[in-house]
Structure 1
Amino acid sequence: MLYIGVDLGTSAVKLLLMDAEGDIKNIVSKEYPLYFPHPGWSEQSPEDWFAQTMEGIKELTAEVDKSEVAGISFGGQMHGLVTLDKNDCVIRPAILWNDGRTGKETDYLNRVIGKDKLSEYTANIAFAGFTAPKILWMKENEPENFAKVVKIMLPKDYLAYKLSGTFCTDVSDASGMLLLDVKNRCWSKEMIEICGISEDMLPKLFESYEVVGTLKKEIAEELGLKESVKVIAGAGDNAAAAVGTGTVGDGRCNISLGTSGTLFVSSKKFGVDEYNALHSFDHADGNYHLMGCMLSAASCNKWWSEEILKTKDFAAEQKEIHKLGENTVFYLPYLMGERSPHNNPKARAMFIGMSMDTTRADMTQAVLEGVTFGLRDSLEVARNLGIHIERTKICGGGAKSPLWKKMVANIMNMKVDVIESEEGPALGAAMLAAVGCGEYPSVEAAAEKIVKIIATIEPEEELVAKYEEKYQKFKQIYPTVKGLYEL
């Protein structure tokens, strides 16, 4: 049988077709626009997501026996606020994960309601990108729109709803709404009351590998698929990526260098970082995970190369980088503010340390190193919790760069396991579909069968020492300039 994984990203939807053995048969990507109506705001049209997903599925399955398609599941950008009215029409553009408009609401939740209470209710504190602050923003700033709200959902769940008619979400994605009691995997009645909504506005909760329904008749006909094709709940993009890299079970790590960057640690036990610098979420394998998330990762390199250097040849730019651990230029990777560990939507990117002999390659190197240093910040929080991590998987667009992977190994002082497929969320979603259809007894069993390590990058003692010195300097920059962001 065949399984479709849909990775609903920020710049495009990537669709992957996988057989029962985990062999990838086809991959299709469809782009859609991203809107910035005000500085720091970030929005998209859910209708664009659905239209491009439908076109993508048609293209994905054009050359195969469509009767073999058994299931479809999702990995999706997290935290986005999608609202529907009584007629199931989208009320306003979705407010995305990297939108920074909710500073006032985030402060209210953290300071007035209180971080201790939020952590008690949800295992997390408020971040500007989370869904609950967006609900409060909409209630305050768009009361006419808020009065129309009948359904509140996350981006990938809009696709599941359009395909199956089931109003659903999964616990991994719901963990990032600040509405879920993560420990008990149920909606928090206290947070529902604080946000001024009712529980019937929220979707039914499922585990990521559970079947939520089948294709609606008209959808199946349009796609040329059987109505019996199962729709599986899916997961937030980072949890789906973790499944796709085999980061399931206990004590495993994955680093994602996508539009955003994440450090993801799987665990069979529920746990909370006392400073709430890391997110404590439910995992797609039925367990839990801790995650540090930076808002701009590979997107920093994309911005630097395409907008500033005016080139899309990322590899050519990196060819001139030779002296690792010796760069005197530093880069703070906060193009859209920052989440972990600083929780500051006002933070912004900057270069520091240039001189008359600074080269283009030095600047490019600083961007790659700055993102990796930012992820190291989250790793240090995990290490302070007593979590001992010796190796990590890696995925995302940035993982295609051999140079960047070498930087990760040496800046983190960890072995980096390179897997056969770096498709991350799309592969993880297809694997969840296979589990939901009974192809595998568990997510861990699917990962053990499908995910294959093809190489390991070892940290080099001399380079680790050089980068340790550089990281200690990097750590001092944000506290030094933090006050400038308030001006």
Structure 2
Amino acid sequence: MFYIGVDLGTSAVKLLLMDSEGKIRKIVSKQYPISFPHPGWSEQNPVDWYEKSIEGIRELTEDINRQEVAGISFGGQMHGLVTLDGQDEVIRPAILWNDGRSTKETDYLNEVIGKERLSEYIANIAFTGFTAPKILWMKENEPDQFARIRKIMLPKDYLAYRLSGVFCSDYSDASGMLLLDVKHRCWSEEMMELCGVRRDQLPDLYESYDVVGTLKPEVASELGFPEQVKIIAGAGDNAAAAVGTGTVGEGMCNISLGTSGTIFISSEHFRVDQNNALHSFAHADGQYHLMGCMLSAASCNKWWMEEILKTSDFAKEQEGILRLGENQVFYLPYLMGERSPHNDPKARAVFVGLTMDTTREEMTQAVLEGVVFGLRDSLEIARSLGISITRTRICGGGAKSPLWKKMVANIMNLKVDVIKSEEGPALGGAILAAVGCGEYESVEEAAGRLIRVVETVEPDPELTEKYENCYRKFQKLYPALKPLFQEIIS
């Protein structure tokens, strides 16, 4: 049998075909436009998602017996607001996760309603990217459109609805709406009232591996699939990617060194840190996870290499970096402000400790180290909650650097596992489809059997001790500079 994972991204949909043995048979990607109608706005037409997904699924399955397709599931861009009217027509373009129009509404939730009440209701605080502030914006600025809403859904759930006719979402993706009581895995009555939405406007909730329905007959006919193809709920992109890296079960960790940086920690238990520095969400394995998100990670290195050093030879710039744990130059990686753990849009990138003797290599080293120090800030919060973390998976473009992986191992004092396949949410979606169809008993079993570790970078005790001293110095920099950031950034 075959399983399809659909990764509904911001610029393209990536579709992955996996067989019963877990082998990836084919990958197809289809792009669609994104519009920026006003500064800071970011929108897409949900119909484009569906049409390109159908086009991609046809191409993905052109070389197999389509009668052997058993299930389809999803990983999708989170937080986007999709609204349908009583005739199931899209009311307005979807407002995406990276849309910044709802600053006023976010401030209202955090400062008027209050972060403590939000944390009590939904285990998280508000960010402009999340869904609830977008709903409040639409209510205030487009009241006629708002009054037409009959269904509110997330991007991947629009695909599930078009394919199956079932109005559904999963707990992991719903966690990022600021409408879900994460601890009790149900919609929050308080947040629905605050946002002016009714329960019947929100989807039914499922675990990510639950079967929500089957293909609508007309869709099955169009694709040449059997009507009994199962549609499985799927997950938000981060949770789906975690499944795709095997980051499931108690204390499992994955670090992504992409444009932004994330540290994703799975847990059997619901946990919230005191300051809501980490996102506390449901996980696709049926349990929970904590996630810290840095806005600039590999993008810091890209900026330093291409904009400042004017080079594209990243590997060559790292060749001269030999004295790890001894650098006296520090770098704060806040090129775009920071989310986790500081939640400070006014934070800025800074070099500290430059002298007449500072070398090009030391500054490059500081950039790489600063990103890992920043991620460790989030790791320490998770550890303070009693989660035992001894090793991590690693992915993203930055994970291709042997030097950066070595820094992660020693700055964080973790064993760093590199996995064979790095297909992210698409692979996670395919695995969820296989679990939903009964190929595996659980997400944890599937991940354990399908995800292969091909390399492990071990921390060196002597180097770890050196980096511990460096990290203690790094920790003091942001608190010392925060008042200055507040003063100079209007």
TM over 0.5: yes
1:34 is displaced (CA, Å) by: 4.3
1:37 is displaced (CA, Å) by: 4.8
Q: 1:483 aligns with which of 461, 482, 486?
A: 486
Partner AA of 2:139 in structure 1 = K
From the superposition, tell whether residues 275 and 308 of structure 1 become closer, same or farther in structure 2 (CA, over 3 Å): same
Does 1:188 pair with 2:188? Answer: yes
SS at match of 1:192: helix
Does 1:77 pair with 2:77? Answer: yes
Partner AA of 1:185 in structure 2 = R
SS at match of 1:242: helix
In structure 2, how many angstroms separate the alpha carbons of the residues matched to 1:230 and 1:474? 50
1:107 is displaced (CA, Å) by: 2.2
Q: 2:132 aligns to what?
A: 132
1:397 is displaced (CA, Å) by: 3.5
Q: 1:408 aligns to what?
A: 408
Within 5 A, what are the aligned runs for 1:171-250?
Answer: 171-250=171-250
Q: Deviations over 1:351-410 (max 9, x none)?
A: 556677767666654444333222111111112223221111122343333333222212
SS at match of 1:121: helix
Q: 2:7 aligns to what?
A: 7
In structure 1, how many angstroms separate the alpha carbons of the residues matched to 2:138 and 2:299? 27
Partner AA of 1:283 in structure 2 = H
From the superposition, tell whether residues 83 and 295 of structure 1 become closer, same or farther in structure 2 (CA, over 3 Å): farther
Q: Deviations over 1:253-301 (max 9, x none)?
A: 1222334322222222222212211122111111112222223334444
Q: 1:468 aligns to what?
A: 468
Partner AA of 2:228 in structure 1 = S
Partner AA of 1:56 in structure 2 = G
Q: 2:339 aligns to what?
A: 339
SS at match of 1:284: coil
In structure 2, how many angstroms separate the alpha carbons of the residues matched to 1:34 and 1:107? 26
Q: Deviations over 1:305-342 (max 9, x none)?
A: 66777776655665565554455554444444432111
In structure 2, how many angstroms separate the alpha carbons of the residues matched to 1:212 and 1:477? 49
Q: Deviations over 1:117-156 (max 9, x none)?
A: 2122112222232211221122223334323322211121
1:191 is displaced (CA, Å) by: 0.5
Contact 2:271 2:385 in 1 (8 A): no
In structure 2, how many angstroms separate the alpha carbons of the residues matched to 1:360 and 1:34? 38
SS at match of 2:184: coil
In structure 2, how many angstroms separate the alpha carbons of the residues matched to 1:99 and 1:50? 21
* Structure 2 spans left out of the alignment, 5+ residues: none
TM-score if structure 2 supplies the norm length?
Answer: 0.90
SS at match of 2:284: coil
Contact 1:241 1:395 in 2 (8 A): no
1:113 is displaced (CA, Å) by: 1.6
In structure 1, how many angstroms separate the alpha carbons of the residues matched to 2:66 and 2:319? 43
Does 457-466 or 329-338 show the bigger shift? 329-338
Partner AA of 1:247 in structure 2 = T
Q: 1:422 aligns to what?
A: 422
1:228 is displaced (CA, Å) by: 2.2
In structure 2, how many angstroms separate the alpha carbons of the residues matched to 1:373 and 1:11? 30
Partner AA of 1:211 in structure 2 = V
Give the total of aligned pairs. 487
Does 1:158 pair with 2:161? Answer: no
SS at match of 1:208: coil
1:455 is displaced (CA, Å) by: 1.7
From the superposition, tell whether residues 31 and 408 of structure 1 become closer, same or farther in structure 2 (CA, over 3 Å): farther
User: Bigger radius of gyration, 1 or 2?
Assistant: 2
Q: 1:457 aligns to what?
A: 457
SS at match of 1:247: coil
1:74 is displaced (CA, Å) by: 0.8
Contact 2:346 2:486 in 1 (8 A): no
Within 5 A, what are the aligned runs for 1:33-432?
Answer: 33-37=33-37, 40-301=40-301, 315=315, 318=318, 321-327=321-327, 330-349=330-349, 365-432=365-432
* Structure 1 spans left out of the alignment, 5+ residues: none
From the superposition, tell whether residues 310 and 89 of structure 1 become closer, same or farther in structure 2 (CA, over 3 Å): farther
Q: Identical aligned pairs, as a percentage?
A: 75
Does 135-144 or 172-181 show the bigger shift? 135-144
TM-score if structure 1 supplies the norm length?
Answer: 0.90
1:45 is displaced (CA, Å) by: 3.6
In structure 2, how many angstroms separate the alpha carbons of the residues matched to 1:250 and 1:434? 22
Contact 1:100 1:345 in 2 (8 A): no
